[in-house]
Structure 1
Amino acid sequence: MDPHARARDWAEIQERMLVPLYEAVYARLGVGRGTRLLALGCGAGLALVMAAARGARVAGVESACPERLALARERLPDGETRPRLTEGCAPVAEDASYGLITAFQPVGCADGDAEDLTALLREAVPSARKGALVVLTGWGPPECCTTSSVLKVAGKLADPLRGTRGRRAALEDVARRAGLRPEGSGRVACPFGYADADSAVRGLLSTGLFDAAAAATDPVQVAKEITEALQPYVRADGTVWMPNVFRYLIARV
C-alpha cells in the first residue's frame, strides 16, 4: 500500500480513536498554559493539536512513519513558537525543560514494541526537567478489548505456528527499565467506530500492526481475513463498533 495513502488513512480514520485517552490524560494532569510537552510517536499530530489548543507548548517525535510526520507539520504550521517535530531521536531541549512526556502509541500488540519504547524513553528523559511526568499507554485486558480478536489475524498470518501474541509487557516494567518511578494509572474506554467495514480495514491496516502479516503472506489475503474477523462487530446499518479499554501509566522522572 502506498505509504502516503496509509498515513492519510491513519490521520483521517484511525488516529481519532484514541481521543478519549488524550482527553482523559490531559484533564487529569491539567495540561494547559505553562505545560511543555514532548510527544513520542506523535503520529499525524492530533494529540499535539489538542494539547496546543489547551495552551501547551508542544514538540513531537515520529520515527516510524515520516509520512505521518509530514501530516503533523501540516496540522501545526509555522508560528512564533513553532512546534519541534522531528524524525528519529528525541529532540533534546537545551534547557531540559519538558515537564511532560507522552507515549500514546499503545504497547502490547507488536513484537518488541515495549523494548522499542524503553529505548526511546531513555533517549527522551534527558530532555525533561527533574520531576517531570511521563505517560505510557497500553492495551487493556483482552476481554475488555474486542479489537483483540481482529488483531489475532496479524499474529496468525505472520507466524502461523504461534498465532496470537505472547504476554503483554507491564507498563510498570517499561517505566522502571527506563529509570522512571510509577506513580499512578487509569483506564479509558476508547471504542473503535467506523462508517463501514472498508473504512475499518483501511484504518486497522494504517496502524502498521499487520505489516509483518502482509510481508509473510499476501496483502489481499490479510485484508480479506480482517474483513471476516470484523463481521461480529458490523451493525445492522453497516457501521462497525468495537468497544476497547486502554490503560495509561503516569511515571515521574
Structure 2
Amino acid sequence: MTVVSRPPALVRTHPSAAHAPSPAPRPAAGSSRARDWAEIQERMMVPLYEAVYDRLDLGPGARLLGLGCGSGLALLLAARRGAQVTGLDSDPRRLALARERLTAGSGREASHRAALPGRGLPDLPGERGRPFTVITAFERVRASTLAEAAALAERGSAVVLASWGPAERCASTPVLRLGARLADPAGAPAAWRAPGRDDLEDLARAAGLTPAGSGRVACPFGYADTDSAVRGLLSTGYFDAAIRALDEARVVKELTEALHPYRREGGMVWMPNVFRYLIASA
C-alpha cells in the first residue's frame, strides 16, 4: 500500500483562532480522554472519511490539509491512498497521538510546529509555493478560518465540510442531548446541538466557497460493552460542560442509564447514525 512520501506536517493551532463548537465528535481535554478518542471513538467516523475520499478519488499527487485533524486517523487513511497530508489541531495531546500514528504509518517522523496565539493559521507548506488541492474540515470550524485555509489551496480545489445528519436519523441524538440537559442548570454552553438543514451550505458561503455537492453516510456507533460506550462518548467533549456543572460520577451514571435502550444481546451497544458532508469549491 502506498504511503505519503514526505513527513506529514502536524501543526498546533490556538483554539480561539481555529475552532468553533463542533457538530462532529472531537476529543475532550486530558490524555486519557484523548487516548479513548483515538482507540474507541474515532474509528466510528471511518465510513465518512472513506466515502469522502472515494468521491474525491483521492490518491497520489493530492496535497491535503486537515482542519481539526484530531488524533490523525483521517490523515492516515489519506496518506495510505498516496496523498501528502498536513494536519492542524489545537490540542497537543491529540497531535502527539497523530504523530505517533502517522509515523508508524509512513515510517518517517512527522513534524510539529506551534502557532502563535491570535494569529490565525500558522506557516504551512501551501504558503511556500505548493498549494493544497484538498481541504477537509470533518469538525466544524469558523468561516474565517475556513476562508483562510481555502486561500492556501489551488483555485477550484475541493473543500469538504461535515456534520451530523438529521436528528431523527441519528440514534445518538437523545444521548447527546443528555449532555446539554445536564449542563443547563449551571448555564454552561453545550458542545452539541441538532444541525440545521442548511448549516454546511451557510458555512461554506460565509467563507466565500461555492457548494458543489453533498452526501450522507451511515456511521453507526458500536461498542463492545457499556463501559467502552461511556468512555468513547465522554471522549467526544460533548459531556465536558455537564461534568463541570455536576461531577463526573453523576454524568457517568446518567449516561450509563441513557445507553440501556441501545444495548444488545451480549452487552454490545449499537447506535445507528447518519452524517452529512458537503463538497465546496475554493
| Distance of aligned partners of 1:129 and 1:151 in 2 relative to their CA distance in 1, 3 Å threshold | same
- 1:24-50 residue CA offsets vs partner (Å, 9 max, x unmatched): 000110100010000011011001111
Task: Give unpaired runs (5+ residues) of structure 1.
Answer: 108-115
In structure 2, what residue type is equivalent to 1:229? A
In 2, the alpha carbon distance for the partners of 1:167 and 1:37 equals 26
In 2, the alpha carbon distance for the partners of 1:80 and 1:195 equals 31
1:6-21 matched pairs, under 5 angstroms: 6-21=33-48
In structure 2, what residue type is equivalent to 1:69? L
- 1:134-191 residue CA offsets vs partner (Å, 9 max, x unmatched): 0000100111000011001111011148998466361000001111100000000000
| Contact residue 100 and residue 128 of structure 1 kept, 8 A | yes
| Contact residue 193 and residue 242 of structure 1 kept, 8 A | yes
1:81-120 matched pairs, under 5 angstroms: 88=115, 89=121, 91-92=123-124, 93=126, 94-95=128-129, 97-105=131-139, 107=140, 116-120=141-145
| Distance of aligned partners of 1:45 and 1:245 in 2 relative to their CA distance in 1, 3 Å threshold | same
Report what 1:110 is aligned to: none
Shift, 1:216, TM fit: 1.2
Report what 2:163 is aligned to: 138
Report what 2:72 is aligned to: 45
Identity fraction in percent: 57
| Contact residue 40 and residue 90 of structure 1 kept, 8 A | no
| Contact residue 163 and residue 195 of structure 2 kept, 8 A | no
In structure 2, what residue type is equivalent to 1:159? D
| Distance of aligned partners of 1:159 and 1:252 in 2 relative to their CA distance in 1, 3 Å threshold | same
| Contact residue 91 and residue 127 of structure 1 kept, 8 A | no
In 2, the alpha carbon distance for the partners of 1:165 and 1:55 equals 35
1:208-227 matched pairs, under 5 angstroms: 208-227=237-256
TM-score w.r.t. length of structure 2: 0.80
Report what 2:150 is aligned to: 125
| Contact residue 158 and residue 212 of structure 1 kept, 8 A | yes
| Contact residue 90 and residue 120 of structure 1 kept, 8 A | no
| Contact residue 20 and residue 189 of structure 1 kept, 8 A | yes
Shift, 1:86, TM fit: 5.0
Task: Give unpaired runs (5+ residues) of structure 2.
Answer: 1-27, 116-120
1:1-253 matched pairs, under 5 angstroms: 3-63=30-90, 65-77=91-103, 88=115, 89=121, 91-92=123-124, 93=126, 94-95=128-129, 97-105=131-139, 107=140, 116-160=141-185, 165=193, 168=196, 170-253=199-282
In 1, the alpha carbon distance for the partners of 2:40 and 2:194 equals 28
In 2, the alpha carbon distance for the partners of 1:124 and 1:217 equals 38
Equivalent residue of 1:159, what SS? helix
Report what 1:113 is aligned to: none
In structure 1, what residue type is equivalent to 2:217? V
| Contact residue 99 and residue 109 of structure 2 kept, 8 A | no
In structure 2, what residue type is equivalent to 1:16? R
- 1:97-130 residue CA offsets vs partner (Å, 9 max, x unmatched): 100000112x4xxxxxxxx432321231222111
| Contact residue 118 and residue 175 of structure 1 kept, 8 A | yes
In structure 1, what residue type is equivalent to 2:101? R
- 1:216-250 residue CA offsets vs partner (Å, 9 max, x unmatched): 11111111111111110011110000000000000
- 1:7-26 residue CA offsets vs partner (Å, 9 max, x unmatched): 11000000000000011000
| Contact residue 38 and residue 100 of structure 1 kept, 8 A | yes
| Contact residue 133 and residue 154 of structure 2 kept, 8 A | yes
